Amino acid sequence: MHLNKVEICGVNTSKIKVLKEAEKEKLLKLVKQGDMNAREELIAGNLRLVLSVIQRFINRGENPDDLFQIGCIGLIKSIDNFDITQNVRFSTYAVPMIIGEIRRYLRDNNSVRVSRSMRDTAYKAMQVKERFINEHLREPKIEEIAELMGIRREDVVLALEAIVEPLSLQEPVYSDGGDTIYVMDQVGDKSDDWDWLEEIALKESIARLSPREKNILSLRFFAGKTQMEVASEIGISQAQVSRLEKCALEKIKKQI
């Protein structure tokens, strides 16, 4: 169903009520007092906000009805988690939340297929690595694995990364009242809408990390290096990098 038609998900878009800021503030106060009718009215009065957000994702070939439903989930979470004591407009807080919910949906429903040849390369690289450790009692560098296999360094990196579940980017860094913000949300496109309260909290939590933890996160998420490359650069094993990375993200989540 297309956006230029009257209905999306059974909702007649021409009849959607648009709330004024004063009305939103009044309803938000009632919601915090447990008024479920006010909550429903606030949801209905912000559906146009959801419609405006999903238009930026519509060219990906996704069903507008599905995007609208996911966007509404983000809207509801925004209403339930919004802090009325902060001097922030509700829409300023809600838009990044709706965008984040849609992005998670798109990530979870668009898995990348790994070719058989790439898997075979990765498994061979792992076998070469294991033999190297047994012989030399240390982790091999990517260049050493590539040389032993007779292939390019880039091919080794791509193959090993392809078979690793991207859990690090899905690690939660902030959770409040059931809503979760992930690492991917924090290192996305700089043109995205950004909640300054979350940005301040994230910066403060990162500042409390150890120098090694900061270095690993910087190399992984800002320099774009693989865990294997980070391990080679700082002189520890890939397993240690994985453990330190996960530990650092857990610290950020707890501190926020």
Please check whether residue 87 lies inside any domain of the structure. Answer: yes
59 has a pLDDT exceeding 90: no
Give the per-residue pLDDT at 191. 43
102 has a pLDDT exceeding 80: yes
Q: Are 135 and 213 in contact (CB under 8 A)?
A: no
Which of 108, 137, 154 is where one domain is finished?
108
* Higher-pLDDT residue of 232, 5: 232
Same domain, 187 and 140: no
Nearest to 49 by CA among 2, 79, 94, 83: 94
Give the domain CATH number at 231: 1.20.140.160
72 has a pLDDT exceeding 50: yes
Same domain, 172 and 242: yes
105 has a pLDDT exceeding 60: yes
Written as six digits, the tokens of 31 are 């919601």
Written as six digits, the tokens of 185 are 């949300």
Same domain, 137 and 201: no
Mean pLDDT of 212-222: 83
224 has a pLDDT exceeding 80: no
Q: Which band of pLDDT confidence, cut at 50, 70 and 90, is reported for residue 76?
A: very high
Percent of residues, the chain, with pLDDT higher than 70: 72
Q: How many domains does the chain have?
A: 3
Of the segments 77-81, 111-115, 218-222, which one has the largest average pLDDT value?
Answer: 77-81
Beta partners for 210? none
Mean pLDDT of 130-158: 88
Mean pLDDT of 126-133: 88
* Higher-pLDDT residue of 114, 147: 147
Please check whether residue 64 lies inside any domain of the structure. Answer: yes
Same domain, 76 and 90: yes
Helix 227-234 × helix 142-149 angle, to 10°? 120
Structural domain for 248, as ranges: 167-255
Q: How many CB atoms lie within 10 A of CB 241?
A: 23
- Cα–Cα dist 88/96, whole Å: 13
Same domain, 144 and 172: no
201's torsion region: left (phi>0), alpha (psi -120 to 50) or beta? Answer: alpha
Q: Are 1 and 8 in contact (CB under 8 A)?
A: yes
176 has a pLDDT exceeding 50: no
